[in-house]
A and B are shown apart, each in its own frame.
Chain A
Amino acid sequence: MILEMKNIVKTYGKVVANDNVSIDLNEGEILAIVGENGAGKSTIMKILYGLEKPDSGEIFVKGKKVSFNSPLDAMKLNIGMVQQHFMLFGPMSVTENIVYNNEVSRRGFFDWKGNREKVRELSGKYGLNVDPDALINDCSVGTQQRVEILKTLYQNADIIIFDEPSAVLTPGEVDELLSTMKNLAKAGKSLILITHKLNEVMEVADRVTVMRSGKVIGTVNKKDTSTDELSYMMIGRHTSQLNIPDMKTGKRLLEVEHLSMGSALGKKVLNDVSLHVDAGEIVGIAGVSGNGQSEMIRCITGLEKQYEGKVLVCDQDVSNQGVSIIRKAGMSHIPEDRYLWGSAREASLSDNFLMGEEDSDAFSSHGILKQKTIDRHADRLIDEYAIKTDGCRQKMKELSGGNAQKVITAREIERDCPLTIACEPTRGIDIGAMEFVHERLVNKRDNGGGVLLVSSELSEILKLSDRIYVMYEGHLNYEFRHGEVDDRKLGRLMLGGKADE
């Protein structure tokens, strides 16, 4: 056994990210760690790579008890990591990226020939094809990832962690990656693969550890398991408790036609997305995050204007239009990141509640703010959503994360407009408040509004949605009505499985 992590506990404030997690890795094997977002897999890997310190628990590498203070310590113990977000120097060559901090030099000068030779040698040894002189920025994402792998090998890593390695790759590149991983294992390296794509797991892994809500649910041999069993272990059983009566849908509130968008890296992030939301329905987007949901929402809400396709809000064509026009057309938006987009931490709650409405007649006249009305409005929302605060003059940054989320959710749900785009509206808030937010969303629908709900909580989607789209790799693959689909099937589809498996 080359690596053993025993009873690792890690908490962030009140959130338990890792609850007594134990993981072991044999020499020359590929261990997959699977789980939904927030299951605790990245935390355990951060601990293993020295990026985080565990509250308690022990780590043994090659039988010796160790502790890490930084990635450097991990590197010294021959642990390497291929991060999801590449850590590369874009304008530099492949060689320069691989040999960094361990260069071959002659009297202080960078020895191009020697370094290039070393890279050639290494890439030949493991069959990882790269052009040592190519610039990283000119390389495909697949090549960039190979450079990351070569970097870990250059530092003599015996244990290599792959963090969601296929998330950024095209299908062809994924196949190549998987065969690379098998080769590495054959060459005696021990690999940990963190992923939520079960078909990849079934292809390369020797053993699979499943995590859910910070705990290890179980470790199974690949031979003895199936995609179905794994996805069930990952997602668990979610029942739709809140049985919502069917509603007659009314006029079309949102129509998205053939939305496509490319990323800077030359990959299609959105691929011909079409969907619609009618008055009187909640439409859920199920999908593992990172499959294009954020980009789709950015296009619909006007934060992104470089896309192809059409967006109509309340019959008004708002394609490639700015935020204020789209908002005026009748949309509110709970953004997925509460601090990056959703609020100003240094501003008061009143100011945060006002955003988007500062020019409306309700809150200003002739350009002068009606501060009393604004404060009253803020107080009402604070009261209704039970936001814990000293009052509407308190600064946003003094609120806890859950309360901050409530401020944003309250602002957008209570806005007087037919359509609400809700991204992760209950992220980090307590159960009671969550129920309340759900009620308000349903209430909005019952009053003839429409909601487009994006959530990484499958239970939330299943519970609230009248219709569900499944999003996978930038495309909406399936559409179901409420009750037509169960959590097992949905979970499988979200992970790239087929409907009739």
Chain B
Amino acid sequence: MAYKPQYGPGTSIVAQNRRNQMNPGHELEKLRSVTDEDVVLILGHRAPGAAYPTAHPPLAEQQEPEDPMRKIVKPTDGAKAGDRVRYVQFADSMFNAPSQPYQRTYAEMYRFRAIDSGTLSGRQIVECRERDLDQYAKFLIETEMFDPATVGIRGATVHGHSLRLAEDGMMFDALQRCVLGDDGVVKYVKDQVGVPLDRPVDVGKPMNEKWLKEHTTMFHSLVGTAFREDEEYIEYIQRIHTLRTKYGFMPKEE
């Protein structure tokens, strides 16, 4: 019988949202559109229209040794072309941002190929070949994993995830890479490391509080769903801890 992932425990809406983001069979809603050029501008790795710089010749031009793994694991387009490995990094507000650091990593591991993620408290980075990254970043910005106000695309100086929101609802950003325009649309005026852009990049209107509460993947007793209310989730964590304590990393039931 084929393994069927369960993605995670819990009876709450937060738990279900987590499973939805992780499950590649679940289609995440596309909420906004950004152009390929917009993505390139925000990422800041190369000029729009420029060719992808390479770290090595295309695989087809290389004399690759006989290797059964190479036959099993098909290279991504970026790997085939020999692209550099580059990154996109997100900061997610603890005020009900739709995705959160570990959640991003889990979801990306299920949905993307050939990635290397890093998870911290205030940010999550994912690295991969550049042309693959452009696709992944576009997905991460256009779908329900993104909110223009409570999610920031930040390569450095990420400070803000745990702070109160600004009065206009935007997450704090010392570099103010994105601003809420008078038209209610959030515009990136700097790339992810803070270099000013030649033109602003629109990433859409902030989602409202009701939507955020219904779509967030973080428990929060003040603005969302309290962790205490999801007893199944807590029991699951206690069980994992107990089994690891007793049996190390080969857990088994007594």
Q: Do A and B bind each other?
A: no
